[in-house]
Structure 1
């Protein structure tokens, strides 16, 4: 308590227990920052967040906002001298206005819980990252998270209408609106979404809900190789099919998921689901997916099929320490990307399991980087670097939905270019002139 008298006087729940600090210093990325945070705080109200930020500013204490710790790029990891601002106890769904298609939620609400609450009104919260049963709305907003349904419904930013944000000096602002349309002023809501806690702390969100459509078809198509599966996903667009999801799994991923009930009739699997469409659209989808396929079937239990897909990352984690990468390329370049990733794996002699949101060109090449607790082999780092370079060479990006965090800052300047990178750094300085909000992350 002597080290942080301002926290002791704040009235906010906090701890400096070494066991708690050890747990909260890490996120799912596996990146280990130097040193330990000095405290973890658990605010329950907006006023408590404001008090924490005012105390942090007065003492120039770095603050690392955190939800469930499911970040994959080190964005919520906390090192020496920091205070972890754990928002998980701000977990109320404040209201669901079904007639307006709007929900208001605190940042600690679990993503799947909001979707289930919306479903009770015949609605859906569309963003569905693989971690939806664990990740929080605030964390999803911080990284502009995506998910399986991105192909049709977009990423988190497409469902965020307005935000309540506590700035670095403790000021509370509200951005955006509670209506489905609105263009007044600069789009600060869009700016905060995806800023990884470097510009302000999200303490409330007004979110768009959509009508809950019945799935019209869930199709599992197997292919001899991943290139054929990627080509089939492009054929869907050519056939004017708009799937709600199109998930591609390569042979290595299917092997990791053996026993989970997925079809194993080839070297790659493509899972496609349409919703709200016509029988004619389903027929076009089946026709497009049949090209080059070893088998195509409508699944009798789509929930089980998608549940198995969501187990891909945990299954790969059992093989060894994963570097879960996240690139996106134009859909037309998807086959080239997956073929090149397989070549990178061979040349560097490292296992790479590729999972892709094929409907929007977002690939997750997961490099299995040795055993847990062991140093990451240099060959794994070289493979990951080549994957990022590949994405840019194909006209893509080094992150489609996981964010930059710590692990991708090296590549950000190359993607943005010097002038834009400098402009973004100036925006950070404007919102956080003393650099106390999640320093060393994102920008």
Structure 2
């Protein structure tokens, strides 16, 4: 009996995909140059029982499992391995329940981030995590990578909103971890362990998240700067002033032009770099916060800094920030960095990143969740230019080294996947890596759950 015939006995035929042309879109995420191989099949389960049946089939047949959400990841964490089974959770896309009193929502992993936000807004509630890919990325993928976003500077990352999870483990069991009450310190926090585990410890099949009341309309502040270093100092000055904006983003002129050429948004900024900040504090306190941000920008050398009086203009700039990555992809392959450093280190690290681009003759476009020190240099290369690709990869590694030298991390929100595995090994001690391996072996004793991602475990498939 062939593997496919055997699989069709374990799960319904209508969720199995074997056509190579259809399978191709499920075999990789958006990470440029991260390798992927041909899977034995792709399945799109509709419920948790089908996921569990598939995992048990993989255990019996010694087939690796690669789970995926919407495929918007940027580290290769969802990339297929030779002969694996890809389990795509995109068909499990229902909002199961919203509790306006407890301010929670229970959702399947394939629910799109913005769709959840729109649904809970009907009850006057808000789901804060907002990666730039929110219109396309799924909640399950956001949890698996512990995604961040524009609001993180004030409201935190995905794991801070995850209350409980339903998970299919590496032993094929269905378990629930997390809490059902406001306080719960019974046992280890396995919920937090699974958030950010990138499918290496289990497959998330249901998520319960906490919600907040809808915030008031935000006030936007825009600052223009002649250099990255001055813009970085603007970020440091905001931090030193004790202000916590609801967003603080950096976008350079290269990105703005790419977005404008694509979307014809009429953007113009007489600056090399702009900082976009917002405050959602109402009334006089919000006005004072906005004024403090303007002052912080001006003291860093901004050529222009002001509270935006035009809501449409402010929204256009923030939309451009979200569209920067797909706009640059139109120009050629883009290798995306995701380092994070202390905000006080942002000016110096930006300066060094700029020097790395020059040293490697590589185009470096700059965007950042600057308010929490999460920098996303984008290395843009001409399609088919192998020498440019080599230079970009060398620059990528040098940027990781700079982040670690500055006391930062190799990944702020995109995850480790395949692209950052060497960086993780440089960041963590051998003893801490051993702790990771021990946890992995305990929860995935057969070594089938997304093997080879994050770090290598001896004996995995």
TM over 0.5: yes
Query: Contact 1:226–1:251 (CA<8 Å) still a contact in 2?
Result: no
Q: CA RMSD in A?
A: 1.6
Query: Contact 1:222–1:263 (CA<8 Å) still a contact in 2?
Result: no
Q: Residue in 2 aligned with 1:5?
A: 5
Q: Is 1:287 the equivalent of 2:295?
A: yes
* TM-score w.r.t. length of structure 1: 0.97
Offset from partner CA, 1:362-392 (integer Å, 9 cap, x none):
0001111331685762211111110000000
Query: Contact 1:94–1:106 (CA<8 Å) still a contact in 2?
Result: yes
Q: Residue in 1 aligned with 2:429?
A: 417
Cα deviation, residue 78, structure 1? 0.4
**Please, which runs of 5 or more residues in structure 2 have no aligned partner?**
456-461
1:133-282 to 2 correspondences below 5 Å: 133-258=135-260, 259-277=264-282, 278=285, 279-282=287-290
1:67-78 to 2 correspondences below 5 Å: 67-78=69-80
1:248-397 to 2 correspondences below 5 Å: 248-258=250-260, 259-277=264-282, 278=285, 279-291=287-299, 292-299=301-308, 300=310, 301=312, 302-371=314-383, 377-397=389-409
Counterpart Cα distance in 2 of 1:140 and 1:376: 31
* TM-score w.r.t. length of structure 2: 0.93
Counterpart Cα distance in 1 of 2:376 and 2:60: 41
**Which SS does the other structure have where 1:64 is aligned?**
strand
Counterpart Cα distance in 2 of 1:133 and 1:79: 28
Offset from partner CA, 1:144-203 (integer Å, 9 cap, x none):
000111100111111111111110121111111133432221110000000000000000
**Which SS does the other structure have where 2:276 is aligned?**
strand
Cα deviation, residue 261, structure 1? 3.8
Cα deviation, residue 264, structure 1? 1.2
Offset from partner CA, 1:14-47 (integer Å, 9 cap, x none):
0111112222112111335353101011111111
Q: Residue in 1 aligned with 2:459?
A: none
**Please, which runs of 5 or more residues in structure 1 have no aligned partner?**
none
Aligned residues: 443
Counterpart Cα distance in 2 of 1:32 and 1:357: 24
